[in-house]
Amino acid sequence: MSQQHEDIKQNVTTLFNKVSGGYDHEAMRYFPFTADAIIHLLRPEPGSKVLDIATGTGAAAVAAAQVIGPTGRVQAIDLSDNMLDKAVGNVEKMALSNVDFHIMDAERLDFKSHYFDYAICSFAIFFLPDIPTAIKSWMRVLKPGGQLVFTIFADSAFMPMVKIFKQQLETYGIDFGSANWGILTTKEQCHALLEQAGATEIEIHEKQMGFHLNKASIWWDIICNSAMRGFVDQLSENRLAQFKQEHLKAVGELATDKGIWLDVLVYFATGKKQA
């Protein structure tokens, strides 16, 4: 593993430690909605063993744990201590006792081979420096016939707000070049990654998780509580206030009588380990 890859992981971990407090913000309800959709797609049997990779605040882990019941078990991993603390709290709120949490690298799993019935990675795969290696690691720990699903945002997601966000921030000297922005956004890429990892029965599903924002400031809540926070945090306090004013003015101009449409088109990529 190169030092560059390790630096990327450390930067991502630091960022998610920072945003963990607001990651369950109502404006980002597409996360738990997607978690529920993943479980609806997989339909795991009671008693199943499930791996939740980069669990964040535990949305997919909670959804899986509720379905597989007390005879099943979820192993949920993340590199962010703060995210795991939030996830533990969310599991306790639901009075679930069948989830274990681990600080673990998604590219280097510490689980034995052929162990899990299902592996889930929701909205995290595009943060990984070596995606093909990660998927091979996930396939390794699946039982023969076990199923993997990962989710990504489609290239239309959060548009045109994200385009405006980038264009305006670039005028402030913020560089997006090394951010891997938009590295994985198409069905074709998802299919190719699963095929490369030796998966069978590959399917790519899509579902619109979007909704209308009744004011532009809700978009700012999403920025501040997601990975986009890493870009605005590079601005000084005065420049941040100026950028926020300019950006929300531009986003506000997108409003119709229904509000501001937040496109959250999600791709669900699934494949099975050779039986």
Q: Does the structure show a pLDDT above 70 at 59?
A: yes
Dihedrals φ, ψ of 102, to 5°?
-140, 140
Q: What pLDDT shows up at residue 1?
A: 56
Residue 182 binned pLDDT confidence (cut-offs 50, 70, 90): confident
More confident of the two residues 11 and 102: 102
Residue 80 binned pLDDT confidence (cut-offs 50, 70, 90): very high
| C-alpha–C-alpha distance, residues 144 and 134, integer Å | 18
pTM confidence score: 0.95
Q: Residue 214 corresponds to which tokens in the numbers above?
A: 């009744």
Q: Specify the amino acid at residue 172.
A: Y
Pairing, β 265-272 against β 142-153: antiparallel
The domain segmentation of the chain, as residue ranges, is 3-157+183-210+265-272
Which class is 3-157+183-210+265-272 in CATH? alpha beta
> Which of 58, 54, 24 has its CA nearest to residue 221?
24
